[in-house]
């Protein structure tokens, strides 16, 4: 059995972290695998547990706006504006790091990802530890992020104690914005804070760009990420689902938006048509599908509008591995993908 730390025992989680341990912590987005940023050995354990390449930088989690200027330098005015508008909340700012942030956190980069998570337990925990916590999502590298203690336990078992903060309310990882430039910013990873929401705060003075090849490295933007074990397909509507079914004799677990499509699947989760609800349930539904008896997962595409951008991004990466193997092995069968 994993060691579940109840909220009333938050002090024992703080003591573990102060002693150089790794503890899984709740945030509003997903659970994180946390260590004190000032302890190099502790942070190295995160990489080992996750089997994450050592040059993939971690996000640091703070509990107080004053910490922003301690751990980042050369902060543009608009970055303060974003922090004041969206923190605590699902926004990560990439900024030049101060000397207080070791290379072991940033994978040798001169920038650091910073956010203030919107979860009362974790804000209180960071305050008790007295130092920011470095925390990537608490899953094996490239796999589905955890939104409940049971997911963390499935990833790490007894190896990592978990502070129980219930179900994550947002459900997908934070929006990451590179704010190192004075006059523009770049969305490195979309999330539930949409481009529109950023624009509403920034107005017309600061341009918001999409990433290009020169943009900073984000592992969550590798083409295959957030991936189930089973082949995973995206489809738009009943006809495409029928197309997938006609090409494979395999049983289908559907993440569907309509009763019509639900009828065509052996097993299914009927997903919400509002983006907030959908995001909150998505990773749990993907895990349920992956653990089911079905052979493949089929996901009905949500609408292509701004507020679904973060969700679409995760769905496309979840199904990317299937897309590549379909392209390389079944060239005549590209319509399935």
Q: Which residues bind ligand TXA (CB under 6 A)?
A: 27, 29-30, 32, 56-59, 90, 92, 94, 106, 109, 111-113, 117, 135-137, 173-174, 176, 188, 216-220
Please answer whether residues 255 and 299 qualify as being in contact, where contact means their C-beta atoms are separated by less than 8 angstroms: yes
Q: State the nearest-atom distance from the C-beta of 142 to Mg ion, in Å.
A: 8
Output 101 or 299, the one with its CB closest to ligand TXA: 101
Give the one entry of ligand TXA, Mg ion, none that residue 112 binds, where binding means its C-beta sits below a cut-off of 5 to 8 angstroms depending on kind: ligand TXA
Other CB atoms within a 10 A radius of the CB of residue 300 amount to: 24
Using the rule CB under 5 A, give the single segment among 66-74, 131-139, 186-194, 249-257 that binds Mg ion: 131-139
Length of the chain in terms of residues written: 337
Question: Does the footprint of Mg ion cover residue 27 (CB under 5 A)?
Answer: no
Q: State the nearest-atom distance from the C-beta of 150 to ligand TXA, in Å.
A: 17
Output 145 or 322, the one with its CB closest to ligand TXA: 145
Q: State the nearest-atom distance from the C-beta of 186 to ligand TXA, in Å.
A: 10
Please answer whether residues 23 and 183 qualify as being in contact, where contact means their C-beta atoms are separated by less than 8 angstroms: no
Output 118 or 137, the one with its CB closest to Mg ion: 137
Asked, as a colleague might, if the bond just before 27 is cis with ω within 30 of 0, I would say no
Output 76 or 190, the one with its CB closest to Mg ion: 190
Residue 54 burial (C-beta neighbours within 10 Å; 0-12, 13-18, 19+) = exposed
Q: State the nearest-atom distance from the C-beta of 200 to Mg ion, in Å.
A: 27
Give the one entry of Mg ion, ligand TXA, none that residue 318 binds, where binding means its C-beta sits below a cut-off of 5 to 8 angstroms depending on kind: none
Using the rule CB under 5 A, give the single segment among 85-93, 135-143, 183-191, 317-325 that binds Mg ion: 135-143
Residue 81 burial (C-beta neighbours within 10 Å; 0-12, 13-18, 19+) = middle
* Total residues binding Mg ion (CB under 5 A): 1
The full 3-state SS of 154-173, as one line of letters, equals HHHHHHCCEECCCCCCCCCC
Give CA–CA dist 87/83, Å, rounded.
Answer: 5
Question: Does the footprint of Mg ion cover residue 268 (CB under 5 A)?
Answer: no
Q: State the nearest-atom distance from the C-beta of 237 to Mg ion, in Å.
A: 31
Give the one entry of Mg ion, ligand TXA, none that residue 155 binds, where binding means its C-beta sits below a cut-off of 5 to 8 angstroms depending on kind: none
Give CA–CA dist 35/18, Å, rounded.
Answer: 9
Residues 6+ apart with CB under 8 A from 284: 147, 148, 151
Phi/psi of residue 36, nearest 5 degrees: -65, 125
Output 192 or 252, the one with its CB closest to ligand TXA: 192
């Amino acid at each position: 059995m994993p060691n579940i730390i109840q909220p009333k025992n938050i002090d024992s989680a703080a003591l573990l972290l102060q002693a150089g341990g790794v503890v899984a912590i709740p945030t509003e987005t997903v659970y994180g695998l946390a260590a004190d940023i000032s302890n190099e050995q502790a942070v190295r354990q995160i990489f080992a547990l996750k089997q994450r390449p050592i040059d993939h930088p971690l996000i640091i989690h703070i509990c107080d706006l004053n910490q922003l200027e301690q751990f980042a330098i050369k902060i543009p005015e608009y970055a303060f504006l974003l922090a004041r508008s969206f923190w605590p909340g699902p926004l990560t700012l990439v900024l030049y790091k101060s000397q207080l942030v070791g290379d072991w956190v940033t994978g040798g980069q001169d920038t650091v990802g910073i956010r203030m998570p919107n979860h009362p337990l974790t804000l209180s925990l960071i305050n008790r530890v007295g130092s920011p916590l470095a925390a990537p999502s608490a899953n094996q590298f490239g796999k589905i992020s955890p939104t409940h203690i049971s997911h963390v336990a499935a990833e790490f078992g007894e190896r990592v104690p978990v502070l129980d903060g219930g179900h994550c309310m947002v459900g997908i990882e934070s929006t990451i914005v590179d704010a190192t430039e004075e006059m523009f910013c770049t969305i490195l990873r979309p999330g539930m804070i949409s481009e529109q929401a950023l624009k509403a705060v920034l107005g017309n003075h600061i341009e918001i760009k999409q990433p290009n090849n020169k943009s900073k490295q984000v592992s969550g933007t590798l083409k295959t990420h957030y991936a189930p074990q089973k082949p995973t397909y995206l489809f738009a509507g009943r006809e495409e689902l029928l197309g997938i079914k006609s090409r494979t004799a395999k049983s289908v677990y559907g993440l569907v938006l309509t009763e019509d499509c639900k009828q065509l699947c052996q097993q299914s989760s009927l997903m919400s048509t509002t983006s907030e609800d959908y995001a909150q349930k998505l990773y749990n539904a993907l895990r349920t599908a992956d653990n089911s008896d079905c052979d493949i997962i089929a996901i009905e595409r949500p609408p292509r509008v701004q507020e679904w951008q973060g969700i679409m991004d995760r769905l496309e990466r979840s199904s990317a591995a299937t897309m590549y193997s379909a392209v390389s092995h079944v060239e005549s069968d590209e319509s399935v993908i």
